[in-house]
Amino acid sequence: MTTRCARNWISYLTDSLVNANALPAEEAIEYLTQNLFGDAPNRRLHEAKVPHEAVAQLLQRLYGPLLEAAARDANVPAEAAARLFTDVSLIGPSTVLAVYFPANDGPQQLIALDSVRTWDLVFPHADAFNAWADERYAKLYASLSVLTAQTSATACAIPA
């Protein structure tokens, strides 16, 4: 019996931040540590000069690499794209939308909709965060796999 090895999503997110030149390695580690672990509510978001931007940035930095990994693993064609959109709320749950844009201007598909209480998005330890991230990755991957399979089947269809 084969089992899938769990990813270390914290390391994956850190690498993503560094490779995108968003933050140097030390700052990326500090950013994720300060924003993901501790007590709710996340005081760092409360104390930000522009809380709306801090929340939007955190959501993009958390969900973006998950979507990127799911798209790569689901073999999303290079001509297609998967994008994240956020609707930030400072007093209630924020919304994260993942949308698939197929090649050749086909109809866009909503692949994930997640409601997140960003202020309370803190974890007691790395395993809890990895489980949270793995759950979201699995949903994104499942949705993208279905869409890319449909695209492949349509591309192989022979017109009558």
Euclidean distance between CA atoms 106 and 110, whole angstroms? 13
Among 34-48, 50-64, 71-85, which is the least confidently predicted range?
34-48
pLDDT of residue 150: 73
Verdict on whether the full-model pTM lies above 0.75? yes
Q: What is the mean pLDDT of residues 39-51?
A: 90
Cβ atoms of 100 and 80 closer than 8 Å: yes
CA separation, residue 149 to residues 90, 124, 141, 146, 153 (Å): 38, 38, 12, 5, 6
Closest C-alpha to 95, from 116, 112, 74: 116
At residue 4, the pLDDT reads 54
- The answer, yes or no, to whether residue 41 has pLDDT greater than 50, is yes
The pLDDT value recorded for residue 18 is 97
- Asked if residue 1 has pLDDT above 60, the reply is no
Distance of CA 67 to the CA centre of its chain: 5
Which one has a higher pLDDT value, 14 or 40?
A: 14
Gap between the Cα atoms of 75 and 66, Å rounded:
14
Q: What distance in Å separates the CA atoms of residue 116 and residue 31, rounded to the nearest whole number?
A: 19
- For the residues 102-131, what does the mean pLDDT come to? 93
* Pairing relationship of beta strands 94-101 and 81-87 according to DSSP bridges: antiparallel
Cα–Cα distance list, 152 to 76, 77, 103 (Å): 10, 10, 12
Angle at CA 104, nearest 5°, toward 100 and 106?
50
